[in-house]
């Protein structure tokens, strides 16, 4: 009959009337965010970063700029480069996460936020000061050690650099058994007289200090 399907249509809309609306009213309500969400507030731990610029090399868009100088303190003892510049131009970033995957020292993490709207393009560049000061809510993307402890970047507290990396006790057989091996630690901690395992210190000549390594764009 002519009207049957019209009646059916009316019933469909009437059913919707009794349902709770699907809309999530964003500023007040939020969709639950997965811990592996790749947000734009990159989390960077300077203490873990050696300035190897792997992230810059792996970035398919070439939007990470790193300028390093050799640290004068103790390069022979496994000290890292000192970073002069670490710019991530977020306006071309596609959040593929390859920089995070490339980082050999777990120093760079995807962020968990997405509310970094800016009014000018210049402000879309995350510079090193921004990275230093930003809240450390690392996403668990490509970081199984965070996922194992069930870390939720939106709900959890900010993590400091000692808590986020893949430490040797998480994979070294001896340390799994409870034995503690001393690791090389960053220079600022070495100054405080912390013990250093000599087996990890390469016994080589100091790196030539004359040529500052420059990578990226």
Partner 1 sequence: MNCVLGVDNVLHDTLLFRVIYEGVGHVLPCGLSYVVAGIAIMMLLVNGVLLGAGLFSWVERRLIGRFHNRVGPNRWGPFGTLQPLADLVKLIFKEDLTPKGADRILFTIVPVAMLAPVVLVMAVVPFAKDTALANLNVGVLYILAVTSITSIAIFMAGWASDNRYAMWGASRGVAVLISYEVPVVMSLLGVVMVAGSMSLNDVVSAQTVPFLLVQPLAFFVFFAGTSAELNRTPFDLAEAESEIIAGYHIEYSGVKFALIQAAEFGAVLTSSAVMVTLFLSGWSGPASSYLGWAWFLMKIGVLAFIFSWIRATFPRLRIDQLLAFAWKFLLPLSIINLFATALEIYFLRDSTGALDTTDLWIMAGINFGVAFACLLVFGTLIKEKVRPAGPLTGATLSTGEAD
Binding site for partner 1 (CB under 8 A): 1-3, 6, 9-10, 12-14, 16-17, 19, 21-23, 25
Cβ-based nearer residue to partner 1, 2 or 119: 2
Pick 9 or 62: Cβ nearer partner 1: 9
* Distance in Å, CB of 19 to partner 1, minimum: 6
Query: Please, are residues 103 and 161 in contact by the beta-carbon 8 Å criterion?
Result: no
User: DSSP secondary structure string, 181-198?
Assistant: -PPP--HHHHTTT----G
Q: Which residue number, 16 or 170, has a Cβ lying nearer to partner 1?
A: 16
Smallest gap, in angstroms, from Cβ of residue 4 to partner 1?
9
Residue in 29, 81, 89, 25 with CA at minimum distance from that of residue 56: 89
Nearer to partner 1, 13 or 120 (CB): 13
- The DSSP element (H or E) to which 43 belongs, if any, is strand 39-44
Which residues have a Cβ under 8 Å from the Cβ of 130 and sit 6 or more positions away? none
- Cβ nearer to partner 1, comparing 25 with 204: 25
Instruction: Provide the minimum distance between the beta carbon of 30 and partner 1 in the complex, in angstroms, as a whole number.
Output: 16
- State the minimum distance, in angstroms, from the CB of residue 117 to partner 1: 20
Query: The tokens of 93 are what?
Result: 């970033």
In three-state secondary structure terms, 23 is coil
Query: How far apart (Å, rounded) are the C-alpha atoms in residues 203 and 175?
Result: 24
- Shortest Å, Cβ 63 to partner 1: 37
Distance set, CA 29 to CA 22, 26, 47, 117 (Å): 12, 5, 36, 19
Rounded to 5°, the CA angle 102-163-94 comes to 35
Nearer to partner 1, 16 or 118 (CB): 16
- Min CB(59)–partner 1 separation in Å: 40
């Amino acid at each position: 009959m002519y009207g049957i399907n019209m009646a059916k249509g009316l019933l469909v809309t009437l059913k919707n009337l009794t349902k709770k609306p699907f809309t999530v009213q964003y500023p007040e309500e939020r969709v639950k965010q997965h811990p592996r969400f790749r947000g734009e507030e990159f989390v960077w731990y300077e203490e873990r970063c050696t300035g190897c610029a792997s992230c810059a090399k792996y970035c398919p868009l070439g939007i990470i700029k790193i300028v390093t100088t050799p640290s004068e303190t103790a390069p022979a003892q496994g000290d890292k480069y000192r970073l002069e510049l670490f710019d991530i131009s977020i306006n071309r970033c596609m959040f593929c996460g390859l920089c995070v995957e490339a980082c050999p020292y777990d120093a760079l993490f995807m962020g968990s936020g997405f509310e970094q709207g800016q009014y000018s393009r210049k402000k879309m560049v995350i510079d090193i000061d921004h990275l230093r000061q930003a809240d450390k809510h690392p996403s668990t993307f490509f970081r199984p050690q965070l996922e194992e402890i069930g870390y939720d970047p939106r709900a959890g507290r900010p993590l400091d650099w000692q808590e986020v990396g893949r430490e040797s006790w998480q994979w070294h057989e001896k340390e799994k058994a409870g034995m503690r091996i001393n690791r090389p630690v960053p220079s600022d901690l070495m100054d405080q007289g912390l013990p250093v395992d000599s087996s990890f210190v390469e016994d080589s000549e100091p790196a030539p200090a004359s040529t500052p390594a420059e990578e990226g764009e």
